[in-house]
Amino acid sequence: MCGIVGYIGEKSAVDILIEGLSMLEYRGYDSAGVAVYDNGALDVRKKKGRLDMLRQLLEKEPVQGTMGIGHTRWATHGAPSDENSHPHTNGAGTIAVVHNGIIENYSRLKEYLGAKGYSFRSQTDTEVLAHLIDHYYMGDLLSAVQDALRHVEGSYAICVVSKDHPGEIIAARKDSPLVLGSGQGENFVASDVPALLKHTRDVYFLEDYEVARVTREGIDIFDRYGIPVEREVFHVEWDVQAAERGGYPHFMLKEIHEEPKALQDTLSPRINAQGDLNIEGLGLEEEAVRAVRRIVIVACGTASYAGQVGKYVFEKSLRIPVEVDLASEYRYRDPVVQEGDLFLVISQSGETADTLAAMRLAKARGARILAITNVVGSTISREADAVMYTWAGPEIAVASTKAFTTQLLCIELLALHMARIRGSMEQAQWQALFAAVQAIPAKVEAMLEAEDTVKRCAHRHSNVSDAYFLGRNLDYPIAMEGSLKLKEISYIHSEAFAAGELKHGPIALIEEGTLVLAIATQKELYEKMASNIKEVKARGAHVLAMCPGDAALILDLADEVIELEDTQALLTPLISVIPAQLLAYFCSVERGYDVDKPRNLAKSVTVE
Ligand code: F6R
């Protein structure tokens, strides 16, 4: 949520800021702004709307200078408007601040500052911070920021510049990510690595409560007590192309097409030279695996549906109970952490505020945390006891696709690893599943060939106002994921039901022509699903089924079919989600929406 960029060097700051913001627009896109130091003054330009609106403003009112900060916003306090856009300044316009997060005690601070004569131009919490820094400013910007932050409650990643300090940017963080990029005679700040990739791959990750002084010559980091911190430089392996559209009309389509490679990249490091499964370094050696009595999975949104798949996969293959909870619920329900729990956190970004808070709570109560995440250096990856990375590369589209399938693959690999140690699967069954896992990247590649079929389905149905997904067993989490994908980018009202629940209420929604998407991959449940399809058809539903070619019962009943590649029952989510992702994508395109930047949403939800 909200993208931040800072630059100090010899080049034109505004070009680097705008280019960096364009790489971060997925973090928020309802307004954007820059503040650039030029000849003794801070020039601020900010505009409601997409980054293009700011670009147009800058054409009319250009800024020059070699030091500045920029921001792309996802509104929390105060509606999107020119006035509420960042950067915010103190009254004299000598200090400018960009901020990601929420200052929770901003009303109290505002009152305090108001009594001291400060006046406010916006409805944001961030403006309070600009005045608070001004209040503490005695000639040293770093100290003023440190003093101001001592009075701030909530979350923040900030960049601060002052016209009286043209040689430095002050950056700080708590519960919102911030990365410092190291260059030659120039240095950078950003919320996320993609904004830096064109300039440097050498970065420092700022930790909570740390403050950094970024100058042309170097980067100094201080802890919460102002003591200098030595931080090792981290070399990012991603290349620039990975964060670009590469000829695709949208990042989402590119990322769907990257799924076979992302899956292969996630799989390969876990297979040794002898072709055997090799999961090391997760603290899941023999004794630890045998000691597991329960698995608790916590995540948000799409990642939570990966967790729901995990429930079926782990329970079936390990015969131990699994609980899956939404992080936003877990953190506020006084959860029980028991000896023998394996606590699994799933998060693409590794920065989601609720997931992080749930993880910290579980850790404080004694749980050992294993994180499945995609972002090396993210807060969750640094605070978890062990990390299993999804090697999906940067995921830029707001709607998660390749991160989801690689999360599923990690779950399958963990289940295989633990099942072998616990002896909970027969040898032959284990071998067959392991072989099928290795075939998954190719199966997903083959599934992508259904793209044109899915596109035609989207063309026929993109004008519906409601769509209902049905599934049983492992198809139920995929029904939920398909439904989330459809609603978040095409704005079609959609819900997912466990098919067995239909007659307990939801079937009342079905009328002549209602679109029902029936996912049926579990052979022993074909008959049950067939009955559910009959029930909705009897009430006028139009049924689009997603099932393998051998599901004769389903094929006979459905009005339309997207045929799925066949695989082992436990692996079907990795296949069935592909057409669901494509369907959401093409419906959004048909309806003329901005697929990669759906309304009201942003990637990496770093506020509650
Ligand atoms: C939906 C989507 C979100 C995220 C959720 C968690 O397409 O992307 O539902 O899955 O916000 O994000 P991470 O995985 O970064 O914790």
Same domain, 237 and 251: no
Ligand 1 atom at minimum distance from 398 CA: 8
Which of 2, 159, 410, 457 is flagged as catalytic? 2
- Per-residue model confidence (pLDDT) at position 603: 76
Residue 599 resides in a domain? no
Same domain, 262 and 289: yes
Residue 602 resides in a domain? no
Q: What is the CATH number of the domain that holds 132?
A: 3.60.20.10
311 is catalytic: no
- Per-residue model confidence (pLDDT) at position 43: 97
Q: How far is the CA of 389 from the centre of ligand 1 (A)?
A: 16
The best mutation among 297, 605, 607, 608 to test binding of ligand 1, ranked by most ligand atoms within 8 Å of the C-beta, falls on 605
- Of 438, 460, 475, the domain-final residue: 438
- Residue with the two structure tokens 């791959």: 201
Q: Which residues, 6 or more positions from 303, have their beta carbon under 8 angstroms from its beta carbon?
A: 346, 347, 348, 352, 355, 400, 403, 404, 407
98 in Cβ contact with 73 (< 8 Å): no
What value does the CA radius of gyration of the chain take, rounded to a whole number of Å? 25
Same domain, 474 and 328: no
Q: How many Cα atoms occupy the beta-carbon half-sphere of 463 within 13 Å?
A: 3
Ligand 1 atom at minimum distance from 380 CA: 16
Same domain, 232 and 252: no
- Per-residue model confidence (pLDDT) at position 136: 98
Q: What Cα–Cα distance (Å) separates residue 556 from each residue in 61, 381, 460, 499, 560?
A: 64, 48, 20, 18, 10
Q: How far is the CA of 157 from the centre of ligand 1 (A)?
A: 20
- Per-residue model confidence (pLDDT) at position 244: 81
603 is catalytic: yes
Helix (H) or strand (E) holding 31: strand 31-38
Ligand 1 atom at minimum distance from 404 CA: 10
- Per-residue model confidence (pLDDT) at position 137: 98
- Per-residue model confidence (pLDDT) at position 29: 85
CA dist 256 and 297 (Å) reads 25
Kindly state the tokens that stand for 317.
């293959």
Q: What residues in the chain have per-residue pLDDT under 70?
A: none
Same domain, 318 and 210: no
Phi, psi for 100 (deg, rounded to 5):
-120, 130
Q: How far is the CA of 516 from the centre of ligand 1 (A)?
A: 25
The best mutation among 74, 300, 328 to test binding of ligand 1, ranked by most ligand atoms within 8 Å of the C-beta, falls on 300
- Per-residue model confidence (pLDDT) at position 303: 98
- Per-residue model confidence (pLDDT) at position 26: 82
- Residue with the two structure tokens 């997409």: 50
Residues spanned by the domain of 92: 3-241
- Of 216, 241, 266, the domain-final residue: 241
Residue 43 resides in a domain? yes
Supply the residue whose CA is at minimum distance from atom 10 of ligand 1. 302
Terminal Cα-to-Cα distance of the chain (whole angstroms): 10
Q: How far is the CA of 348 from the centre of ligand 1 (A)?
A: 7
- Per-residue model confidence (pLDDT) at position 1: 75
Residue 605 resides in a domain? no
Residue 48 resides in a domain? yes
Same domain, 338 and 252: yes
- Per-residue model confidence (pLDDT) at position 243: 76
- Of 212, 241, 270, the domain-final residue: 241
Kindly state the tokens that stand for 419.
């099942």
CA dist 34 and 38 (Å) reads 12
Supply the residue whose CA is at minimum distance from atom 16 of ligand 1. 347
386 in Cβ contact with 364 (< 8 Å): no
Q: How far is the CA of 394 from the centre of ligand 1 (A)?
A: 14
Same domain, 432 and 461: no
What is the number of structural domains in the chain?
3
Residue 603 resides in a domain? no
Residue 500 resides in a domain? yes
The best mutation among 298, 305, 352, 359 to test binding of ligand 1, ranked by most ligand atoms within 8 Å of the C-beta, falls on 352
Same domain, 388 and 259: yes
Same domain, 164 and 22: yes
Q: What is the CATH number of the domain that holds 477?
A: 3.40.50.10490
Same domain, 253 and 296: yes
Q: How far is the CA of 424 from the centre of ligand 1 (A)?
A: 32
Same domain, 457 and 516: yes
Supply the residue whose CA is at minimum distance from atom 9 of ligand 1. 301
Residue 604 resides in a domain? no
Supply the residue whose CA is at minimum distance from atom 8 of ligand 1. 400
The best mutation among 251, 297, 298, 302 to test binding of ligand 1, ranked by most ligand atoms within 8 Å of the C-beta, falls on 302
CA dist 130 and 113 (Å) reads 11
Supply the residue whose CA is at minimum distance from atom 7 of ligand 1. 399
Same domain, 482 and 546: yes
- Per-residue model confidence (pLDDT) at position 207: 92
Ligand 1 pocket, CB under 6 A: 300-303, 347-349, 352, 355, 399-400, 484, 488, 604-605
Supply the residue whose CA is at minimum distance from atom 11 of ligand 1. 301
Q: How far is the CA of 522 from the centre of ligand 1 (A)?
A: 27
pTM score, whole prediction: 0.89
